[in-house]
């Protein structure tokens, strides 16, 4: 009876697989034809090692001193991930699998600690700067819409002020000064202003040359709405022919249409890859 068939091949020998993953993370998985898994483990270790070293050298993140030796404690979760990689390769060589969560958790600890320190997250600021947050919240709840004049000075008339003013008016008392729409509201919505008479009104003889006329000047909110409507109209007009040129079922029936199709798809992919805000900034500068 031939027993050579029972002898494991070098690529599936558990000892060889374990030793391979010990020397190079992911190599054991690669030898077991789990190439994607092996590549992921290898690059995760490579990138994590770079981040740990960079964070120690440039940010002093996780820095600890052991006698005369200075290192980072973040190497510990990376070593644990390396050990998990060895166990994973050994389990795969025996046609088994182990839980992925420990490996993910070890790498997540490294990334989380580095990101926490690089972004300078400080939870104590939630308590120390609570008064600042309260000030912002108070201003949001009391918008600058109405202005009241008190002792010759203009002040924002919030909800309590308007309630008091209304109560005084209904009761016939005048404990507060006059109120009016604030300049901030005029900037947002718009207001009627005196501007030079348009040339077409002068030509029609409606007004005299050099005179001023009262005209509504739109605010920033109306201008934003108008810009959105204009963008929608122009984009719709442009999208109608482009949609046909980028349709595979239409252009495939036209001689040379596939060239146009791929060109249009490339242009659309480039346009879609750039964020809308970036396009808006480009157009504004233009």
Q: What is the pLDDT of residue 175?
A: 59
- Express as a percent the part of the chain with pLDDT over 90: 27
> What pTM does this model have?
0.48
109 has a pLDDT exceeding 90: yes
The string of pLDDT tens digits covering residues 123-159 is 777 788 888 888 888 888 877 888 887 777 778 887 7
Q: If you compute the radius of gyration of the chain from its CA atoms, what whole number of angstroms results?
A: 35
**Residue 209's pLDDT band (boundaries 50, 70, 90)?**
confident
Cα 3 to its chain centre, rounded Å, is 62
So what's the pLDDT on residue 279?
81
Question: In which band, very low, low, confident or very high, does the pLDDT at 176 lie, cut at 50, 70 and 90?
Answer: low
pLDDT of residue 11: 47
Long-range contacts of 221-225 (CB under 8 A, 24+ apart): 221/188, 221/189, 222/189, 222/190
Average pLDDT over residues 184-191: 84
Mean pLDDT of 45-64: 92
> For the chain, what percent of residues have pLDDT higher than 70?
94
| 119 — pLDDT class (breaks 50, 70, 90) | confident
Residue 3 confidence class, pLDDT cut points 50, 70, 90: very low
Whether the pLDDT of residue 55 is over 80: the answer is yes
Tally Cβ neighbours within 10 Å of residue 81: 22
pLDDT of the residue at 122: 77
């Amino acid at each position: 009876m031939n027993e050579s068939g029972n002898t494991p091949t070098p690529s599936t020998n558990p000892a060889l697989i374990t030793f391979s993953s010990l020397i190079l993370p992911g190599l054991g998985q690669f030898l077991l034809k789990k190439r994607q898994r092996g590549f992921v483990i290898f690059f995760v270790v490579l990138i994590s090692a770079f981040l740990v070293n960079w964070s120690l050298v440039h940010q002093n993140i996780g820095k600890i001193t052991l006698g005369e030796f200075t290192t980072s404690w973040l190497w510990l979760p990376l070593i644990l991930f390396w050990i998990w990689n060895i166990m994973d390769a050994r389990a795969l060589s025996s046609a088994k699998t182990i839980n992925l969560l420990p490996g993910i958790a070890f790498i997540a600890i490294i990334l989380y600690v580095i990101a926490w320190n690089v972004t300078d997250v400080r939870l104590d600021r939630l308590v120390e700067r609570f008064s600042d947050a309260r000030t912002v919240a108070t201003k949001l709840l009391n918008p600058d819409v109405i202005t009241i004049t008190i002792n010759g000075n203009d002040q924002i008339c919030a909800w309590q002020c308007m309630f008091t003013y209304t109560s005084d008016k209904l009761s016939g008392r005048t404990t507060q000064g006059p109120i009016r729409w604030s300049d901030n509201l005029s900037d947002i919505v718009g207001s009627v202003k005196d501007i030079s008479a348009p040339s077409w009104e002068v030509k029609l003889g409606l007004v005299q040359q050099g005179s001023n006329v009262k005209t509504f000047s739109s605010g920033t909110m109306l201008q934003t709405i108008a810009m959105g409507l204009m963008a929608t109209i122009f984009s719709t007009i442009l999208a109608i022919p482009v949609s046909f040129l980028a349709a595979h079922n239409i252009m495939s029936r036209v001689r040379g249409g596939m060239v146009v199709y791929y060109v249009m798809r490339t242009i659309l992919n480039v346009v879609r890859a750039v964020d809308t805000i970036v396009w808006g900034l480009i157009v504004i500068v233009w």
